[in-house]
């Protein structure tokens, strides 16, 4: 049986199985239920403001639609997630991310939503979104190496990771992103999957535990030989995943090994305050692989799924669906690439930038960050005191 779907500017024929028909039926029912709620949202969406953040009326209107239909969309094969973006007319819209091998679904979803909703909505065909711990790539920008062994006290935005992150014939690592303090103690901030994702006695007969050394550079930049790196901190295991909505871990900085002002390579010292994300906001980051790179915020309130391994080059441990995430444009992986996980995304200003998010995943078109406020709240809750950025 062929199911024909016709719209004014698009049509296709598909041979659906029962699962596809059920998904289509469920999506149609959800859209029908969402329409009255959306109409209420749109009646106050006409106001404008310079900052398109999550308090802006038009952004909130798009978020109302997103909230109503995302759970059903994620049941479709090849749908990777949704976010609030900015279309070519400068309007906030709903973006549905679809994996490349499901391109026909992208057209079907977009046409269906446009026909029934009459609101700004679009699909983007892209690759799977992956956690960006990785293997070797050339690092550095403007002549600064982000992979070299530094003379202590080190700056952050540099290669680093768990000292024993070697298994199955491979070694792994990421970025020591920034410095925070909790109750007077300084901690290096990075990702769960950079410091503590080894959770099985597999290829190296070890699991990550509190008290393990964290090194600079990471194993991937010293030919997997930890004796060529230096211990700069000790792991404080937070076990943020799979249970929480952030991919974060910390290491207590070893005295004399990390600059106490929290300076980041090619960025300098931060503001001690943070800032929320807004659409088109200019941002930058300093990371192990792509060094200093710049971009802009392309999506707010993103719901995305990321697959995690149980150790370096290991098997799949779990798939985590994150909500409320920040997306940055990542054309050709120029902003974020494998090994940049743990980098801090900050405002693109010359002095004392505010932190925006903790980068952890992406693909060749988008980079994904946890909102920094949520990261600090989680860390503070785990360590029993307020967590804040080290800075001016």
pLDDT digits over 311-341, tens only? 999 999 999 999 999 999 999 999 999 999 9
Instruction: Please name which of 242, 240, 237, 162 lies closest in space to residue 195, comparing C-alpha atoms.
Output: 162
344, 350 Cβ separation under 8 angstroms: no
Contact residues for 118 (Cβ-Cβ < 8 A; gap 6+): none
Instruction: Assign 72 a pLDDT band (cuts: 50, 70, 90).
Output: confident
Q: Please provide the DSSP assignment of 198-217 as one string.
A: --SSSTTS----TT-EEEES
Distance of alpha carbon 376 from alpha carbon 168, whole angstroms: 33
75 φ, ψ (degrees, to nearest 5)? -80, -15
Q: Can you give the pLDDT at residue 217?
A: 98
User: Which tokens is 234 given?
Assistant: 């000790």
Instruction: Find out whether 372 and 356 touch, Cβ atoms under 8 Å.
Output: yes
Q: What's the pLDDT band for 192 if we cut at 50, 70, 90?
A: very high
Among 55-64, 210-219, 326-335, 349-358, the range scoring the smallest mean pLDDT is 55-64
Read off the pLDDT band of 171 (50, 70, 90): very high
Q: What are phi and psi of 255, to 5 degrees?
A: -55, 130
Confidence of residue 264 (pLDDT cuts 50, 70, 90): very high
Contact indicator for 159, 147 with CB cutoff of 8 Å = yes
Rounded to two decimals, the pTM is 0.88
Mean confidence (pLDDT) of the chain? 86
State in words which class domain 130-392 has: mainly beta
CA nearest 321: which of 134, 81, 98? 81
Q: Which residues of 230-261 are buried (b: 16+ CB within 10 A; e: fewer)?
A: bebbbbbbbebbeebbbbbbbbbbbeebbbee
Per-residue tokens: 322? 């994150």
Give the pLDDT band (50/70/90) at residue 78: confident
- Torsion 290-295-298-303 (CA) sign: positive
What's the pLDDT at 13? 42
Torsion 158-309-186-293 (CA) sign: positive
Q: What pLDDT is stored for residue 132 in this prediction?
A: 83
Asked if residue 342 has pLDDT above 50, the reply is yes
Lowest-pLDDT range, 166-170, 182-186, 216-220? Answer: 166-170
pLDDT exceeds cutoff 90 at 7? no
Enter the DSSP assignment of 50: S
If you average pLDDT over residues 250-258, what whole number do you get?
98
Q: How far apart are CA 377 and CA 388, in angstroms?
A: 9
* pLDDT at residue 1 is higher than 90: no
Better-predicted residue by pLDDT, 364 or 143: 364
Domain ranges of the chain: 3-126, 130-392
Confidence of residue 65 (pLDDT cuts 50, 70, 90): confident
The average pLDDT across 223-247 equals 97
Instruction: Give 150-155's long-range contacts (Cβ < 8 A, gap of 24+).
Output: 150/216, 152/230, 152/232, 152/256, 152/257, 152/258, 153/256, 153/257, 153/258, 153/259, 153/260, 154/216, 154/232, 154/257, 154/258, 154/259, 155/259, 155/263, 155/264, 155/265
| pLDDT tens by residue, 112-130 | 666 555 557 888 999 999 9
Run of H or E residues at 375: helix 372-383
């Amino acid at each position: 049986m062929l199911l024909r779907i016709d719209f004014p500017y698009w049509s296709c024929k598909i041979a659906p199985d029962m699962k596809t028909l059920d998904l289509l039926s469920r999506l149609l029912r959800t859209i029908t239920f969402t329409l009255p709620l959306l109409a209420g949202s749109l009646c106050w969406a006409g106001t404008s403001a310079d900052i398109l953040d999550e308090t802006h009326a038009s952004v909130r209107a798009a978020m109302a639609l997103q909230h109503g239909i995302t759970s059903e969309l994620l049941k479709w094969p090849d749908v990777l997630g949704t976010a609030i973006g900015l279309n070519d007319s400068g309007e906030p819209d709903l973006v549905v991310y679809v994996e490349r091998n499901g391109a026909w679904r992208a057209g079907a979803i977009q046409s269906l939503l446009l026909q029934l909703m009459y609101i700004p909505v679009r699909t983007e065909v892209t690759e799977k979104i992956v956690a960006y711990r990785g293997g070797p790539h050339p690092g550095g920008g403007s002549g600064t190496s982000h992979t070299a062994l530094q003379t202590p006290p080190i700056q952050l935005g540099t290669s680093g990771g768990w000292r024993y992150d070697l298994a199955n014939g491979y070694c792994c690592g990421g970025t020591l992103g920034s410095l925070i303090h909790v109750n007077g103690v300084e901690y290096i901030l990075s990702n769960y999957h950079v410091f503590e994702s080894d959770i099985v006695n597999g290829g190296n007969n070890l699991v990550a535990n509190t008290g393990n050394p964290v090194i600079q550079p990471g194993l991937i930049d010293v030919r997997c030989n930890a004796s060529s790196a230096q211990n700069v901190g000790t792991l404080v295991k937070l076990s943020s995943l799979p249970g929480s909505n952030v991919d974060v871990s910390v290491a207590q900085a070893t005295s004399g090994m990390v600059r106490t002002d929290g300076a980041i390579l090619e960025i300098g010292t931060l503001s001690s305050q943070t800032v929320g994300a807004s659409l088109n906001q200019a941002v930058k980051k300093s990371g192990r692989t792509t060094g200093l790179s710049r971009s802009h915020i392309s999506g707010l309130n993103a719901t995305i799924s990321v697959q995690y391994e149980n150790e370096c080059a290991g098997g799949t441990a779990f798939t985590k669906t994150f909500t409320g995430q920040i997306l940055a444009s990542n054309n050709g992986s120029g902003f974020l690439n494998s090994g940049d996980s743990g980098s801090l995304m900050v405002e693109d200003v010359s002095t004392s930038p505010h932190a925006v998010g903790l980068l952890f995943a992406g693909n060749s078109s988008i980079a994904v960050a946890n909102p920094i406020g949520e990261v600090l709240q989680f860390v503070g809750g785990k360590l029993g005191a307020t967590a804040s950025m080290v800075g001016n």
